[in-house]
Amino acid sequence: MNRVLITGGAGFLGSHLCEKFISENFEVICMDNFITGSPDNIAHLFGNSRFQFVHHDVTNYIYVEGKVDFVLHFASPASPLDYLKLPIQTLKVGSLGTHKTLGLALAKKATFLLASTSEVYGDPLVHPQSEDYWGNVNPIGVRGVYDEAKRFAEAMTMAYHRYHNLNTRIVRIFNTFGPRMRLCDGRAIPAFITQALNNEPITVFGDGLQTRSVCYVSDLIDGIYKLLLSSENEPVNIGNPDEITILDLAKEIIELTNSKSEIVFKDLPEDDPKVRQPDIDKARSILGWEPRVSRREGLIKTIEDFKKRLKM
């Protein structure tokens, strides 16, 4: 039976990955320090004989007894709200955490997968964004702590691949949504849904004409799994190219929730990307992957999850 370590395993994406690998008959070691993850996300997995939880900060030395076949590094604050509050921790988990997890993968002769992000493209001057685009990032801006941590993590991953011949994967994750996102996550979809369900004003930053391309979580997890089992060592975009303005996204959520909320506009945060859309030709050709769940279908499922947790 294959054994996988998932750092950040109690987070939004990490918990869905834990479920996926258990369903595929893997033994799963979930590692988290709950800085942004939650025990609630993995509570249903305790008691499963193929699931093990380890409370640990991955910026420190990692010890795992026995074999490890795969290491997936998903530990990191991942929303602007998080990495603005936790700038040092964000930089450390992207640098020290990546170094420690790569070292473990090397020692165990395991395949390593890095969770990178569309934020490596910054505020892009190329649209849509393909993997060969180097990005437009402000390294000293408030968002730079996340952007540069992930860019550094990619560089270190490729260095281990080239110097140590480590089998590595890099997934560049575009905006993802679905059940288990935190209610106060700070990103557009959870903020809009929470505000809409409470009939509170929906906060749109700027004029709302900036775009995002949002992918439902089950599609993303499927893409990550296929990438891990492939032989592709260089970065691959995983996301849904279906692009929408933030303003239209807010209106759609108001409609789906039958909300009485009004939209209010606030100043655009520093270095907020104007456009975001993945070019997924590489994922289509190499992995045979593309998203299957429509934005509307995914939003309906996510709204139902939020209603349960808000006890509505």
53: confidence class by pLDDT, cuts 50, 70, 90: very high
pLDDT digits (tens, 9 = 90+) for 197-220: 999 999 999 999 999 999 999 999
- Residue entry with tokens 């140590």: 164
What is the pLDDT, as a whole number, of residue 231? Answer: 97
269: confidence class by pLDDT, cuts 50, 70, 90: confident
Annotation marks residue 160 as catalytic = no
Once rounded to an integer, what is the mean pLDDT over residues 35-39? 96
Once rounded to an integer, what is the mean pLDDT over residues 118-135? 96
Give the containing element (helix H, strand E) for 20. helix 12-23
The CB density around residue 220, as the number of other CB atoms within 10 Å, is: 26
75: confidence class by pLDDT, cuts 50, 70, 90: very high
What is the pLDDT, as a whole number, of residue 272? Answer: 81
311: confidence class by pLDDT, cuts 50, 70, 90: confident
| Mean pLDDT of all residues belonging to the chain | 96
| SS3 per-residue string spanning 183-213 | CCCCCHHHHHHHHHHCCCCEEEECCCCCEEE
pLDDT digits (tens, 9 = 90+) for 138-184: 999 999 999 999 999 999 999 999 999 999 999 999 999 999 999 98
What domains lie within the chain, and their CATH numbers? 3-176+217-238 (3.40.50.720), 179-212+242-276+293-309 (3.90.25.10)
- At residue 191, what are phi and psi to the nearest 5 degrees? -65, -45
**Cβ-count burial of 62 within 10 angstroms (0-12 exposed, 13-18 middle, 19+ buried)?**
buried
Once rounded to an integer, what is the mean pLDDT over residues 242-263? 96
3-state DSSP assignment of residue 268: coil
Once rounded to an integer, what is the mean pLDDT over residues 125-136? 96
- What is the DSSP code string of 30-63? EEE--SS--GGGTGGGTT-TTEEEEE--TTS---
Of these residues, 146, 160, 216, 225, which one is catalytic?
Answer: 146
